[in-house]
Amino acid sequence: MRFADDVAAPESDDWADWLAYADALTAAGDPRGAAIHAEHRGEPDYAEAERELGLDGPRAEGSWRFTWSRGFIDRAAFRLSAEGTARRRELVTDAGDRADPERWEAALVELLLTHPAAARLAALELRLTDYHHSAARAARALARRSWPRLTSLSLGHDYEILFALHETSTGNRINPEKYLHDPVIPAEAGAALWLALPALRIELEGAFLLDDLDHETLTGLRTRGSVFADGSLFAFSTPALTSLEVEIDHDVHGTLATNVQLEELSPQRFPALSRLDLSRAFFEPEEGADLVVLAAHPILPRLRNLAIRDLVIEDVPEPLELLAGLAPRFAHLDLRIAGDIAIAGAADGEAERVLAAHGLGWHGDDEASRP
């Protein structure tokens, strides 16, 4: 049995076309043909196809979770399985990779991403453990072909405190700060990655993963941590981006990014940005409170939705009057304050009344609780 990549998949969503495709696959000896017919009957079963196409091993190892649609893997998520170590080694064919257990994750990620059954992926999540090897390998594997249907990508590694030592699959420790100005994914691999992806939404998590983000069609981005190698949060340009969510907190040294970085959110870099979510972004207020900085920001008139973590104004003359003067600048948008409201010298409820006078400031961390 073989993967018949010489049989063209339909461009339409019409099941009649897909059933004809399934018949052609069966005639070519491709086990996906029978699986497509079973899926159409409401009885999806790709186990035999996975066995014939060499994907039963990754399924059994447990790190990959993936689903099928019309003969192709359509959604896939990777997180290294603690139970699959022995099986993982069996799946690694390259002698150099087999000699180093910390490269097995990279080989397993590459195995699925380069398989022809993954060519129509719509959503991909990569939560990497041995990311010092696997992140670059994943980027290069993705860059080998275009992904016309991939509209959601999540890439990175878990962490509790930014820049804390990261534990590999073998118990070794990686210092994430070694990648400052020398990204985990080399610049050329990152550039090739963006060229291959039409993804409309991307999530990035970790420390110093990438040199840059250069994407013409990206509309949604969420970052957690300091994902760019120069330590910046906003020093990239995505002309189609409409929604940006940033999560940043104290690092292992107890320091915070300063809200001066907000100045990099220029209309020239983000001409389409309309939603900015900073509700999980903790900044050092170097230039005053976040709301004060944003009030004078040239991006503000373009925004329609803005979420900030806290509204704190202190160490200035007449803080409440300052808030009253700033509030009208935000009246055109939907403002959410996720954390504390603390205006020095203001009585309980006074700040809320100032905001409410301009239709501003629904309060809380859960959008479902909005009045």
pLDDT tens track for 289-334: 899 999 999 999 999 999 999 998 988 899 999 999 999 999 999 9
- Judge whether residue 370 has pLDDT over 70: no
**38 or 359: which leads in pLDDT:** 38
Cβ count within 10 A of residue 235: 15
For the stretch 83-115, pLDDT in tens is: 888 899 999 999 999 999 999 999 999 999 999
Rounded to 10 deg, the angle between the 15-27 and 32-40 helix axes is: 150
Q: Which letter does DSSP use for residue 347 in this model?
A: P
**Phi, psi dihedral angles at 63 (to 5 degrees):** -75, -35
Q: Which letter does DSSP use for residue 301 in this model?
A: G
- Judge whether residue 199 has pLDDT over 80: no
For the chain, percent of residues with pLDDT exceeding 70 = 96
| Mean pLDDT of all residues belonging to the chain | 94
Rounded distance, CA 352 to CA 27, Å? 70
Place of tokens 């070694």: 178
- Judge whether residue 1 has pLDDT over 80: no
- Judge whether residue 368 has pLDDT over 50: no
Those residues whose C-beta lies under 8 Å from the C-beta of residue 182, and which sit 6 or more positions away, are: 208, 229
Q: Identify the pLDDT of residue 85.
A: 87
Those residues whose C-beta lies under 8 Å from the C-beta of residue 55, and which sit 6 or more positions away, are: 49, 112, 115, 117
Those residues whose C-beta lies under 8 Å from the C-beta of residue 41, and which sit 6 or more positions away, are: none
**369 or 19: which leads in pLDDT:** 19
Those residues whose C-beta lies under 8 Å from the C-beta of residue 356, and which sit 6 or more positions away, are: none
Amino acid at 300: L
Rounded distance, CA 70 to CA 38, Å? 10
Distances, alpha carbon 94 to alpha carbons 44, 99, 111, in Å: 33, 9, 11
Those residues whose C-beta lies under 8 Å from the C-beta of residue 19, and which sit 6 or more positions away, are: 36, 37, 40
For the stretch 330-347, pLDDT in tens is: 999 999 999 989 999 999
Those residues whose C-beta lies under 8 Å from the C-beta of residue 160, and which sit 6 or more positions away, are: none
pTM of the model: 0.93
For the stretch 117-153, pLDDT in tens is: 999 999 999 999 999 999 999 999 999 999 999 999 9
For the stretch 217-257, pLDDT in tens is: 999 999 999 999 999 999 898 999 999 999 999 999 999 99
- Judge whether residue 371 has pLDDT over 50: no
Q: Identify the pLDDT of residue 365.
A: 57
CA 217 to chain centre: 15
CA-based angle 273:277:282, to the nearest 5? 130
Q: Which of 77-81, 154-158, 297-301, 349-353 has the lowest mean pLDDT?
A: 349-353
